[in-house]
Amino acid sequence: MADLSAFPITTKWVPQDPSVLQLFSFPTANGVKASIALEELGLPYEAHKVTLSDADVKSAEFLSLNPNNKIPAIIDPNGPGGKPIGIFESGAILLYLADKTGQLGGNGAAERAEVTQWLMWQMGGLGPMFGQLGFFTKFAGSEIEDPRPRDRYIGEGKRLLNVLDGHLEARDWVAGAYSIADIAIAPWLRALDFYGAKGTLGWGDYKNVVAYLDRFMERPAVQRGVMIPPRD
């Protein structure tokens, strides 16, 4: 039985089986990246619901694993050298899981570079820009009278969708074979429904992107992963 006592987070979210990977998450666009990857890879794991409330993400226990107070985070009891390891940041988790299993990260240096560059495109562009667009569309930012912040993110959101739509011409997946890049990108496209921003961005104009998200959502592992951990 693995000993995870060195991780204070396990005192608030107690593992039932410390020998399997522990996921601390909530089903947001970033959170489901980890659960989808775990489902696709078939790795045994336990999911612990960490709400977005300060009582959870700013608790001393959660901050001990992720000082940046964001989900998701994981503990792998069978890390490098057989020792437990904790990892935060969704992109880092995806890279770690791909490296651990030898799956979904590309075969060889050239494919890995292709996967990694699109993963970074999501982490540095699509996610932050859509997140800000969501703030100015659905949340408190919608009350700001100055239209310039919202317009800024609408324009950037459309630009990014154009980039992706053009790249997906005659492609099923962004980096050749299905990969962690798709697992990073597609949940943020899906988040536009939650934000109520599809109409604002002219979603229907991006035919390749629309078909891409449909393909992604048809995958059984994706359908399971987007529900983990349950919100209720």
Confidence grade of residue 141 (pLDDT, cut at 50, 70, 90): confident
Kindly state the average pLDDT of the residues 57-72.
98
CA atoms within 13 A on the CB side of 182: 27
Report pLDDT digits (tens) over 118-134. 999 999 999 999 999 99
Kindly report the average pLDDT of the chain as a whole number.
96
Let me know the angle formed at the C-alpha of 32 by 154 and 4, rounded to the nearest 5 degrees.
Answer: 135
pTM over 0.85: yes
Percent of the chain at pLDDT above 90?
92
pLDDT score of 147: 87
pLDDT score of 202: 97
**Domain 8-103, what architecture?**
3-Layer(aba) Sandwich (3.40)
Report pLDDT digits (tens) over 1-32. 689 999 999 999 999 999 999 999 999 999 99
Q: Are 172 and 213 in contact, with CB atoms under 8 Å apart? A: no
pLDDT score of 149: 84
- What is the CATH number that goes with domain 108-221? 1.20.1050.10
Q: Are 48 and 31 in contact, with CB atoms under 8 Å apart? A: no
**Closest by alpha carbon to 27, among 18, 39, 19, 14?**
39
Place of tokens 């940041």: 89
User: Parallel, antiparallel, or unpaired: how do β-strands 85-88 and 45-49 relate?
Assistant: unpaired
Please check the confidence at residue 90 and state whether its pLDDT lies above 70.
yes
pLDDT score of 57: 98
Between 147 and 72, the higher pLDDT residue: 72
pLDDT score of 1: 65
Confidence grade of residue 142 (pLDDT, cut at 50, 70, 90): confident
pLDDT score of 143: 83
Please check the confidence at residue 191 and state whether its pLDDT lies above 90.
yes
**Domain range list for the chain:** 8-103, 108-221
pLDDT score of 232: 80
